[in-house]
């Protein structure tokens, strides 16, 4: 095997997946703790929910949006330099947030530090994992994405507990130390893939962005992110308003985190048989069902628990399958940049979702209005994604990306062998375009 292919599906490749899981787990886990911080921050700064939630919305916009740039950097330089720079910005943002004296300062230091800092390395780490695997790509992406579920599972209730004893400012400082440790461990495990050959994919990326498939996925991801981040920002607050104790309200996000781990591992494990595209469509279609339980819960904890479990299961599947779906449709050429552009679309939704839910909650005493908005956004995203074709994009031989990009190929007769045996070729049998 050549240097560009002998690293696939090896123990070292799995170490990269674990390293990505740890680093991304810390970043996502810390960011998703904002629901525990929104109430004490709003009370201290005498701000309503809408303006306070902008801190979270802006940070997630920059988090995902920075991926549009950092994805290209990953194709050029690999993931390690980005993890160093992004991790430093992330930890610095947490520390700086602990010293803010007005809510608008949080927009700057939390947004630019935690949001943009996390975005510098998260998208590149996901795309890097994809370039280390062929046979087990979807499963490896699931392992890499599992970290965010684990981070959410433990860090949200942990943050809620230390806020009550140490205050929200010291809590951010403690999270900064935890984050630094996680980033250092991740840095020790990740490395650049020989398949991430620098340069040469710019034209391919532009062709990808003009395809119907890319546009459809972009809109669906944006709507999904609007609903998801709007829910993450206020699930704890709304539960407490309905009479749920603070500790049980925080536990809802832990349920989301735990079930998302199951979703990541379960859906990626069966992706090779059912197809990542179809599973992703099913995952997004199930999210409106989850939000429906939130709409009708009205403080009934068993319904809130069903909502959290189903949301985590479907959200986990979405995160884990996205990378394999990108590779399936568009190939490995410029995968960092392509993934980054999709992250940007999710970022737009993340920017709009939390403030919209917050302002609707401020304007109306009827909880049904902001919750119904979340449900409608998720439903539209699911419907749109079901319009996408379930076959790879054919760019044509004249538009094929350069051969020096380290693309993975399989023998031409592999899908035919499966067909003759009565088995349907899976995404892993398809030759990247």
In a domain, 364, yes or no: yes
Long-range contacts of 394-399 (CB under 8 A, 24+ apart): 394/433, 395/204, 395/207, 395/433, 399/204, 399/207
In a domain, 371, yes or no: yes
At 196 the pLDDT is 57
Q: The CATH number of the domain where 306 resides is what? A: 1.20.1250.20
| Cα gap 113→120, rounded to integer Å | 10
At 308 the pLDDT is 93
In a domain, 413, yes or no: no
Per-residue pLDDT tens digits of the chain, which is 433 residues long: 445 556 677 888 899 889 999 998 899 889 888 888 888 888 888 888 778 888 888 888 888 778 777 867 777 788 889 999 999 999 999 999 999 998 889 888 998 889 889 888 887 887 788 788 877 777 787 788 778 778 888 888 899 889 989 999 999 999 999 999 999 999 999 888 776 555 545 677 788 888 989 999 999 999 998 999 888 888 888 998 889 998 898 889 889 888 888 887 787 777 767 788 888 888 889 999 999 999 999 889 999 999 999 998 888 777 777 777 887 888 767 776 787 788 788 888 888 888 888 888 888 777 788 899 999 999 999 999 999 887 888 776 444 444 333 333 334 444 444 444 444 343 333 333 2
At 34 the pLDDT is 85
At 1 the pLDDT is 46
What domain count does the chain have? 1
| Cα gap 432→429, rounded to integer Å | 9
Residue 128 is encoded by which pair of tokens?
A: 């890097």
Comparing CA positions, the residue from 296, 306, 304 lying closest to residue 235 is 304
In a domain, 163, yes or no: yes
In a domain, 127, yes or no: yes
Determine the structural domain holding residue 77 and report its residue range.
11-192+202-391
**Predicted structure pTM score:** 0.71
At 399 the pLDDT is 42
- Work out the burial of residue 430: count CB atoms within 10 Å of its CB; fewer than 13 is exposed, 13-18 middle, 19 or more buried: middle
In a domain, 430, yes or no: no
């Amino acid at each position: 095997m050549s240097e560009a292919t002998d690293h696939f599906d090896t123990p070292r490749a799995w170490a990269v997946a674990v390293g990505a899981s740890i680093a991304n787990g810390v970043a996502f886990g810390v960011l998703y703790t904002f629901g525990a911080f929104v109430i004490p921050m709003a009370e201290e700064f005498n701000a309503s929910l809408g303006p306070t939630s902008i801190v979270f919305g802006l940070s997630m916009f920059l988090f995902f949006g920075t991926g549009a740039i950092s994805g290209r950097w990953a194709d050029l330089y690999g993931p390690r330099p980005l993890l160093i720079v992004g991790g430093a910005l992330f930890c610095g943002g947490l520390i700086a947030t602990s010293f803010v004296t007005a809510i608008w300062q949080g927009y700057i230091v939390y947004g630019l530090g935690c949001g943009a800092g996390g975005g510098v390395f998260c998208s590149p780490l996901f795309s890097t994992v994809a370039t280390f695997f062929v046979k087990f790509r979807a499963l490896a992406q699931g392992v890499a994405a599992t970290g965010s579920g684990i981070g959410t599972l433990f860090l949200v209730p942990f943050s809620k507990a230390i806020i009550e004893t140490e205050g929200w400012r010291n809590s951010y400082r403690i999270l900064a130390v935890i984050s630094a440790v996680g980033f250092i461990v991740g840095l020790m495990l990740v490395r650049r893939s020989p398949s991430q050959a620098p340069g040469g994919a710019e034209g391919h990326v532009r062709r990808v962005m003009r395809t119907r498939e890319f546009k459809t996925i972009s809109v669906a991801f944006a709507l999904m992110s609007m609903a998801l981040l709007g829910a993450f920002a206020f699930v704890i607050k709304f539960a407490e308003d309905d009479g749920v104790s603070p500790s049980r309200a925080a536990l809802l996000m832990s349920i989301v985190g735990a079930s998302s781990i199951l979703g990541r591992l379960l859906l990626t494990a069966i992706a090779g048989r059912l197809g990542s595209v179809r599973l992703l469509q099913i995952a997004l279609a199930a999210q409106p069902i989850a939000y429906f339980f939130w709409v009708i819960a009205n403080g009934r904890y068993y319904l809130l628990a069903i909502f959290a479990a189903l949301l985590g299961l479907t959200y986990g599947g979405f995160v884990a399958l996205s990378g394999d779906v990108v590779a399936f449709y568009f190939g490995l050429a410029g995968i960092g940049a392509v993934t980054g552009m999709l992250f940007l679309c999710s970022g737009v939704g993340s920017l709009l979702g939390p403030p919209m839910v917050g302002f609707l909650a401020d304007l109306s005493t009827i909880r049904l209005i902001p919750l119904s908005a979340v449900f409608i956004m998720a439903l539209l995203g699911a419907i749109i994604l079901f319009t996408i074709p379930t076959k790879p994009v054919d760019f044509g031989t004249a538009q094929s990306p350069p051969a020096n990009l380290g693309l993975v190929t399989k023998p031409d007769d592999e899908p035919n062998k499966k067909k003759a045996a009565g088995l349907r070729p899976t995404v892993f049998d398809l030759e990247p375009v």
